[in-house]
Amino acid sequence: MKKILTIAGTRPQLVKIAAVSRVLRESFAEVLVNTGQHYDYNMAGVFFDELNIPKPDYDLGIGSESHGRQTGKMMMAVEEIVEKEKPDAILVYGDTNSTLAGAIVASKLHIPIIHIEAGLRSYNKEMPEEINRIMTDHVSTLLFAPTDLAVANLAKESITEGVHQVGDVMYDAVLYNIALAEEKHSLSDYDLSSGEYVLGTIHRADNTDNKNRLEAVLKAFSALEEKVYLPLHPRTKSKIDSFGLNSILEQANNINIVEPISYLEMLLLEKHAKAIVTDSGGVQKEAYFAKVPCITLRDQTEWLETIETGWNQLVNPLKVDLAEKLSKLRFGQPIEDLYGDGNAAEKIVVILKNYFK
């Protein structure tokens, strides 16, 4: 049986592993490495419990560092694991430092690289994720693209060999887990009513590391008539403290700040929100899956399809009145197969089996 070494380390990647690993392990031996890029238990550890993700074979616990230090530490640790395990391929997801570390190690050791969620582009190279995904795509052997646009993006860069459009594994995960979310959790647990609150998430450096932008985001939330439910990323909380912006939250009577919540809780709250305001790539898509209008606090997005179908709008918090924007939100026209049919994981495994023949 062929051995695949899977590398991950963030919440969204763990969600994708939950969708893929249960199918992958029927035909392959999988060795799972958790880099610990999201090191807080509420940020990542709880995912292993509630989504029945296999326990990592290696838990690196690297945690938060500057991009260079974090990626370097991951590469050193992953290289040792690869030399010990001798996998037939290395599988990486998305566009994080964990992804790049795995891809570089594999390419240097001449091991086939499997990249799930290949071909995404925001065309903003100031975003570290953009650099990670471009570099990973250019050294990958098998590239599993979630959309036709992702395939076209790769073709623009002369990447056509080994490219497969299989749909989005996050859609697989949502379809699989939404019933479980509603079974385990209830809106009454959060003192919320369906369609009467705005769900917010803020964590990207563009927003959190710029005092003016972070202040504008918090003031925009506080100006809304709706209740805002805001699970706060630890790094965002740290920046609010260091910039002295806590007074905005203290004076706002509509913002409910909570600790990071689990994936299943997030699915439930996304489904019943009036609108979602985020800077997360994954949440943009989950809003589309839930058919809830989304405002993305970024200047670009790698998920252009959500914009084109009218379910998502890009907003610069320094330039736009968020309350006015929310009041004018209108539903777009859903396209049912935009991100596949919910069987991306099965398609990936079939292609992998054919590749290894």
> Which CATH number characterizes residue 23's domain?
3.40.50.2000
Domain co-membership, 136 together with 202:
no
The predicted model gives 324-330 an average pLDDT of 74
Q: Give yes or no for residue 43 having a pLDDT over 70.
A: no
**Residues 8 and 110 placed together within one structural domain of the fold:** yes
Residue 333 has pLDDT above 70, yes or no: no
Tokens standing for 21?
A: 């690993």
Report the catalytic residues: 203
Question: By three-state DSSP, how is residue 335 classified?
Answer: coil
Same domain, 83 and 225: no
Residue-wise pLDDT tens digits, 51-83: 888 889 999 988 777 788 989 999 999 999 999
Tell me: pLDDT of 338 over 90: no
Contacts for 59 with CB less than 8 Å, ≥ 6 apart? 34, 36
Residue 198 domain-assigned? Answer: yes
Instruction: Please tell me whether residues 183 and 161 are part of one structural domain.
Output: no
Sign of CA dihedral 174, 177, 180, 184: negative
Residue 148 lies in a domain: yes
Range of the domain at 96: 3-168+340-356
Return phi, psi of residue 342, to 5°. Answer: 90, 10
| pLDDT at position 123 over 80 | yes
C-alpha 135/C-alpha 289 separation (Å) is: 29
- Residue 4's region, left for phi above 0, alpha for psi from -120 to 50, else beta, is beta
Q: Where are the beta strands (DSSP E) in 185-247?
A: 197-201, 227-231
Residue 334 has pLDDT above 70, yes or no: no
Q: Are residues 301 and 187 in the same domain?
A: yes
Q: How far apart are CA 218 and CA 318, in angstroms?
A: 11
Separation between Cα atoms, residue 77 and residue 104, nearest integer Å: 12
Domain count, the chain: 2
